[in-house]
Chain A
Amino acid sequence: MPESILNGLFFYVLAVVILGGAIMTITRRNAVHSAIWLVVTLMGVAGLYLHLNAEFLAAVQILVYIGGIMVLFLFVIMLVNLDEAAKQRQFNRQWSLALICTLVVLVEFGFFLMRGAGSFAFAEPGQGALKPNTELMAVALFQDYLLPFEIASLLLLVAILGAVLMAKKEI
Chain B
Amino acid sequence: MPEITTAHYVMLSAALFSIGTIGVLTRRNVVIILMSIELILNAVNINLVAFSNQLMNMSGQAFAVFVIVDAAAEAAVGLGIIIALFRNKETVNADEIDLMKW
Contacts and interface: CB of A to CB of B under 8 A. Distances in A.
Interface of A: 4-5, 7-9, 11, 15, 18-19, 22-23, 25-26, 28, 31, 34-35, 38, 41-42, 45, 48-49, 52-54, 56-57, 60-61, 64-65, 68-69, 72-73, 75-77, 79-82, 85, 88-95, 98-99, 101-103, 105-106, 109-110, 113, 117, 120-121, 123, 125-130, 136-137, 139-141, 144-145, 148-149, 152-153, 155-156, 158-160, 162-167, 169
A126 B54 contact: yes
Contacts of B84: 166-167
Contact of A26 (B1, B4, B32, B69): B32
A163 B79 contact: yes
Contacts, number: 256
Contact of B18 (A69, A92, A105): A105
B78 to A, nearest CB: 9
Interface centre among A22, A28, A106, A130, by most chain B C-beta atoms within 10 angstroms, is A22
Interface string B66-87: 1011111111110111111011
15 contacts: A7-B4, A26-B27, A26-B36, A38-B35, A41-B16, A41-B39, A61-B68, A64-B71, A68-B72, A76-B82, A76-B83, A105-B18, A110-B11, A128-B55, A166-B77
